[in-house]
Amino acid sequence: MNKEEDNGHISSNNSLDNSQNYAYLLQQEYYEKFKMGQNLYEQSATLSRISLGEKTSEDNNNTYTYINMVHLQERLSEQILKNQFLENKIEQLSKEIKGALNHVALLQKQNELQSSLLKDANDKLQKKTKAIGIEKTINQHLKRKISKLQQINTNYLDQVETMSQQKESIILSNYKHSSVSVFKTSHQSNSSSQRKLNSDKIHQGLTEDSTVKDSSCSEQKSHDQIRFSESVQQFYKSSNLLSPALQVSPKTQQNDLESRIDSTLAQIRAIRLQIQQLNKK
């Protein structure tokens, strides 16, 4: 009995075990199928997500590329505008440079012209300065000559006065030695009158000389000097004739003295006229 019960119990246990094993197998199979399906779904979903990500990334790349292209177009447009502005500026500067070069060339021509004018003016100034120097030298030479002539004139007048006094002394001495008292008295009176007359003539001659005007300013200075030298030589010759070498009659001496005084006055006038001409030149 116990044996049967044990056998029955063993049989029941075996059947329970079998049923449990079967259920386990079913569960295991279902799980494997479910797992496989789940894996397939996950793979499909993963692939979909990958495709969607790739598409999104590609779209994003296209959008970024488009945006970059737009930015590049904008920058290119700005650069084109800048280049056009720079080209216009360069063209304007080129025109200004061309105008400046033309102005510089004009200034160079004006400078050359001014330099030529300055050179001509400098040459003229040098010639004028040289001519002024020569004229100063000539004037100094003429001043020295005039000074010498004035000195000669002064000496000449002094000599004339001295000779006149000597002549008067000689005449008076001759009158003193005369044996005729009447003639002596008459001669003294005539001598006094003659001295007064001679003095008046000399004074008149000097007055006339002071009013003589220059009528021959165009004569050459060398010709004036020759005339002056001849006058001086003639004066010295006439002064030699005034020496009392011979005793003559008082009347003859008086006439001779008058003629010599007239000649001397004429020579004085000629000398003073020549001096005035030289002073004016």
Indicate the domain borders of the chain: 145-280
CA 262/CA 269 separation, integer angstroms = 11
Comparing CA positions, the residue from 246, 244, 237 lying closest to residue 264 is 237
Cβ atoms 205, 269 nearer than 8 A: yes
CA 224/CA 276 separation, integer angstroms = 11
CA 269/CA 212 separation, integer angstroms = 9
Higher pLDDT among residues 48 and 273, named by residue:
273
Q: What is the pLDDT of residues 77-129, one digit of tens each?
A: 888 999 999 999 999 999 999 999 999 999 999 999 999 999 999 999 999 99
Residue with tokens 């020295």: 144
CA-CA-CA-CA torsion for 24, 28, 29, 31, nearest 10 degrees? 140
Q: What is the pLDDT of residues 27-84, one digit of tens each?
A: 666 556 655 555 555 555 555 555 555 666 666 677 778 788 888 888 888 889 999 9
In three-state secondary structure terms, 213 is: coil
Output the pLDDT for position 117: 92
CA 191/CA 176 separation, integer angstroms = 13
CA 188/CA 193 separation, integer angstroms = 8
In three-state secondary structure terms, 49 is: helix
Question: pTM score, two decimals?
Answer: 0.31
